[in-house]
């Protein structure tokens, strides 16, 4: 089973991966966790280029292609082999982030993005996607406090509002795959909600 965590900045995607993985391992599942962009040595080098605050000249198309390059490597090297061996893969972001950020955020054509995503992933789609949803200002404030601030976080609040609306549109277009989790709740309540959804699907 391939599970992805998606949503606007500061929803807790990165935080929740580890306790969820531990919870599933205790129940006997072989769990592999990964993150985007990155998750492989080559992908982590691309991640640095994408996140560097001084790369302000980056064109949205360049950004889109770098994300797909990292993703292609991750799918082939890590995700597909683990799924083929019968394991569970938990990914901190995946292809829906391209549609939300580069599509809804930057305004690039969704059909073209869908096409390069298909090329990068060879058509691999998640079985379940959790949308950790919250007001963008609350999420960005959490990020500021945490001290983790990258080039993409630094886009305008308006950009992040379009991204959040984009996630909702993606969710409505494929309701069988998506589950919305209220990420404004206390962190333990969010983790509990995530566990319940995942256990029901497994």
| Binding status of residue 12 toward ligand ATP by CB under 6 A | yes
Nearest residue to Mg ion, scored by beta-carbon proximity: 14
Which residues on adjacent β-strands are paired with residue 35?
92
Say if residues 87 and 141 touch (Cβ distance below 8 Å): no
Say if residues 101 and 7 touch (Cβ distance below 8 Å): no
Shortest distance in whole angstroms from residue 6 CB to ligand ATP: 9
Say if residues 77 and 40 touch (Cβ distance below 8 Å): yes
φ, ψ for residue 154, nearest 5 deg: -80, 0
| Binding status of residue 184 toward Mg ion by CB under 5 A | no
| Binding status of residue 105 toward ligand ATP by CB under 6 A | no
Binding mask 11-40 for Mg ion (x = CB under 5 A): --xx--------------------------
The set of residues, in sequence order, having a beta carbon less than 8 Å from that of 81 and lying 6+ positions away, is none
Q: Which one among 29, 143, 151, 195 touches ligand ATP, defined by CB under 6 A?
A: 143
Number of residues that bind ligand ATP (CB under 6 A): 17
Shortest distance in whole angstroms from residue 52 CB to ligand ATP: 15
Shortest distance in whole angstroms from residue 37 CB to Mg ion: 11
Closest CA to 89 of 44, 35, 158: 35
């Amino acid at each position: 089973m391939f599970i992805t965590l998606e949503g606007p900045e500061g929803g807790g995607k990165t935080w929740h991966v580890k306790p969820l993985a531990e919870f599933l391992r205790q129940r006997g599942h072989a769990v592999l966790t990964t993150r985007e962009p990155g998750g492989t040595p080559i992908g982590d080098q691309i991640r640095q280029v994408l996140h560097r605050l001084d790369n302000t000249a980056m064109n949205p198309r360049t950004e889109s292609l770098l994300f797909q390059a990292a993703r292609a490597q991750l799918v082939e090297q890590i995700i597909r082999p683990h799924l083929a061996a019968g394991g569970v893969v938990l990914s901190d972001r995946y292809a829906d982030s391209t549609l939300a950020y580069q599509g809804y955020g930057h305004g690039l054509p969704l059909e073209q993005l869908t096409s390069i995503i298909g090329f990068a992933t060879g058509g691999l789609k998640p079985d379940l996607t959790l949308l950790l949803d919250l007001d963008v200002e609350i999420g960005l404030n959490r990020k500021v406090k945490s001290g983790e601030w990258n080039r993409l976080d630094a886009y305008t609040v308006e950009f992040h509002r379009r991204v959040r609306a984009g996630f909702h549109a993606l969710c409505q277009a494929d309701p069988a795959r998506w589950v919305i989790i209220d990420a404004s709740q206390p962190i333990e309540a969010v983790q509990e909600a995530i566990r319940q959804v995942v256990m029901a699907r497994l």
